[in-house]
Each structure stands twice: as C-alpha cells, then as structure tokens.
Homo-oligomer: A and B are copies of this chain.
Amino acid sequence: MGDGEARDVAARLHSSAIRLLRTLRREDDGSGLSAPRLSALSMVVLAGPLSLAELATAEQVKPPTMSRIVDALVERGLVTRVAKPGDRRSVEIAATADGRQLLEAGRERRVGALVKRLGALADSERRALARGVEILERVTR
C-alpha cells in the first residue's frame, strides 16, 4: 500500500469520524449536561480518580476552566472533590454513583443510535467493520 493510499484512508477516516460524532451528539440533549461537562464527567468515570491538572490536560483545557466545570459537577452531585491525603495541595476528583449512572444512560443513547444505523448493514459488512474497529483501537491507543 503506497503513501497516497494511506493518506486516502486517513482523510476518509477523519471525515467519517467527524460526521459520526456530529450525528451522535444529538443524543446528548437528554442528559441535561453541556458538552464540556459531559466530556469531563466521562473522563472522570472512565479514567478513575484524577487530580484537577490531570483532568484539565486530558480534556485539553487549562486548570481554571476545569476548576469551574468541576464546581458545576460537584454542585449536581455527579463527582466529589476531596483533598488528596499525603499532598494537600492536590485534589482527587472522583465520580459518584449518580455520575456514573447519568453517563451510562447517555452512552446507552449514543450507542443505541449507532446500533440502529449498523442494522442497515449486511452481516459480512458488520464483520468487516468490526475488524476495522479492532485496528482503529490500536491506532488510537
């Protein structure tokens, strides 16, 4: 496979990913949470307890921005923010049961919408897509 073909795959994968997430984003209306808050909550749930700086870095945002987002999530009881034992400068942000449940419900809506779209595919196509996704997982890891 030549360079030009790799470039072609990359460009089309890029476009498809954008279109896919743009479509699925519409499912987030029901969550009652804005995109930045939902994304931050997702990171806390999936990547376990994090410091503010870690969370800000993961979300590609500066610490003051993340500090306010965490304020709002704490306010709604979706995460907790406690001083880290052993280094009281730092803070541990962890998901609550409510936070995990809210995220899971949203994820179900998104994944459900995607499953519905996959229903239009033939069995062999779904298998080929599954194989592609396995490879994509290695690329993004």
Residues of A within 8 A of B (CB): 1, 3, 5-26, 60, 107, 110-111, 114-115, 117-121, 123, 125-141
Determine how many copies of this chain the complex contains. Answer: 2
Question: Which B residue's beta carbon lies closest to that of A132?
Answer: B132
Q: Are B125 and A135 in contact (CB under 8 A)?
A: yes
From DSSP, what is the main secondary structure of chain A's interface residues?
A: helix
Contact for A117 among B19, B22, B139, CB less than 8 A = B139
Contact for A21 among B17, B118, B137, B139, CB less than 8 A = B17
Q: Please, which residues of chain B bring their CB within 8 A of the CB of A6?
A: 115, 118-119, 126
Q: Please, which residues of chain B bring their CB within 8 A of the CB of A114?
A: 10, 13-14
